[in-house]
Amino acid sequence: MSHRAMILGAMATGTTEVEGLLEGDDVLATARAAEAFGARVERLGEGRWRVTGRGGLMSPPGTIDFGNAGTGVRLLMGAAAGYTLSATFDGDASLRKRPMGRVTDHLERMGARFDWSGAKGLLPATLTGGRLMAIDHVQTVASAQVKSAILLAGLNAEGVTSVTEPEKSRDHTERMLRAFGAEVEVDDAGEGWVIRLKGGQQLRGTSVAVPGDPSSAAFPLAAGLLVPGSEVTVAGVMLNSLRTGLFDTWCEMGADLTVSNRRVAGGEEVGDITARHSTLNGVVVPEGRAASMIDEYPILAATAAFAKGQTVMRGVGEMRVKESDRIRLMVDGLRGCGVSVEEEPEGFIVSGSSVPGGATVHTAHDHRIAMSHLVLGMAAQRPVTVDEPEMIATSFPGFVEMMRSLGGAIT
């Protein structure tokens, strides 16, 4: 939601006030990109930002470096494609390995052009936008990034753009587009839905309150479940049903997880979640739940290492094309800590018990791999070490300090 607030604010006419912005390195990269595309971006205080848009995007003065921000680069590719401009997108070594074709192929169907400096589908890439035509797209993999890029491009395409999702992905873009004044039609078709958006709509600046991120809240809550004697409450966490798959899974595993003070903030349901030390049991995670928790499988795997029996996680091949091959890295890290893990092409199975720990885990610059193994180390028999901890700041600045304040021993 922080990425989307910055991007839609830059596309809009007028001023957008944002509260609760997640000030991780990834979001800050998107903020810098929004400024490069012509918006005025100001930090007013902790989590408080103002974006003043010109009613459209303009060609940036140079190459835009998105660092490790996969969400930022893919969504801004879609947003920028609808304007008559040229822009070069790049990122760090990790982002350069992540597939962009899953977004750019569809934008090219709409009329955008991408020129690749190296291998097709990998950054850096130069976009030439404008004169788009609407498309009807059917998702084969539940991906909010792909859906969002197409919808953002559709704002400035001729005709009605539609995205059909047989399996629902997170709907933050649809909700926020409405907050910015766009008309977005959603036809619920049971398990899936169809989203339609007419081109030629102008966004208007608004106020955005960003709820607490379930992906970030997962780490202190997991520590609360695993460390004996613990009770941890995280306030103001988003409870959108398309983002709570991890919490549902933990409850099925027997977690003592409660939600209080439910309320609405920024158009999203939020609440305060309390986790208490629990005895967990392995479960088979429904494959259809993957879209609602794809970023949370690493921390789920860490908690599954302490559960009695097997936790089966399948239908999560998308994990292999995140910041790293998260299936491979979690398998390697857990095995190094003495956990029995079976790797599959599209998933993995963790057989839980007590965890010896004691490993040094290779994270491949992946923040979620690092945080998941640090939480694992808090409950393991011996300390767990991760390399490249600086990457944690991409999504969770202050993670180490916060966990220390709860009693976690991180050095």
Question: What pLDDT band is residue 266 in, cutting at 50, 70 and 90?
Answer: low
pLDDT for 321: 87
pLDDT for 56: 96
Q: How many CA atoms lie within 13 A of 355 on its CB side?
A: 34
Give me the percent of the chain exceeding a pLDDT of 90.
91
Question: What mean pLDDT is predicted for residues 379-404?
Answer: 94
Q: Is the pLDDT of residue 369 over 80?
A: yes
Q: What DSSP element (H or E) covers 217? A: helix 214-226
pLDDT for 215: 94
Identify the active-site residue in 295, 325, 332, 387: 295
**Among residues 148, 74, 171, 164, which one has the least CA distance to residue 114?**
74
Name the residue type at position 250: W
Cα–Cα distance, 68 to 70 (Å, whole number) = 6
Angle between helices 367-379 and 326-336 (to 10 degrees): 20
- Which range, of 15-29, 196-210, 212-226, 263-277, averages the lowest pLDDT? 263-277
pLDDT for 191: 67
Cα–Cα distance, 313 to 136 (Å, whole number) = 32
Cα–Cα distance, 149 to 399 (Å, whole number) = 30
Question: What pLDDT band is residue 267 in, cutting at 50, 70 and 90?
Answer: confident
**Does residue 225 sit in helix, strand or coil?**
helix
Please give the backbone phi and psi of residue 410, each rounded to the nearest 5 degrees, phi first.
-115, 125
Residue 321 vs residues 98, 242, 295, 302: alpha-carbon distances, Å:
6, 21, 11, 20
**Does residue 48 sit in helix, strand or coil?**
strand
Residue 243 tokens read as: 């983002």
User: What secondary structure, in 3-state letters, does 331-365 show?
Assistant: HHHHHHCCCEEEEECCEEEEEECCCCECCEECCCC
pLDDT for 188: 83
Roughly how many angstroms between the first and final C-alpha of the chain, as a whole number? 31
pLDDT for 72: 97
Triad 401, 406, 411: Cα angle to 5°: 45
- Summarised one tens digit per residue, pLDDT across range 202-258 is 999 999 999 999 999 999 999 999 999 999 999 999 999 989 999 999 999 999 999
Exposure b/e, 323-343, CB count within 10 A at least 16 = b? bbbbbebbbbbbebbbbebee
pLDDT for 108: 98
Q: CA 338: distance to chain centroid?
A: 29
Cα–Cα distance, 266 to 175 (Å, whole number) = 10
Question: What pLDDT band is residue 36 in, cutting at 50, 70 and 90?
Answer: very high
Cα–Cα distance, 250 to 80 (Å, whole number) = 39
295 counts as catalytic: yes
pTM of the full predicted structure?
Answer: 0.87
Spatial contact of 90 and 63, defined as CB atoms under 8 Å apart: yes
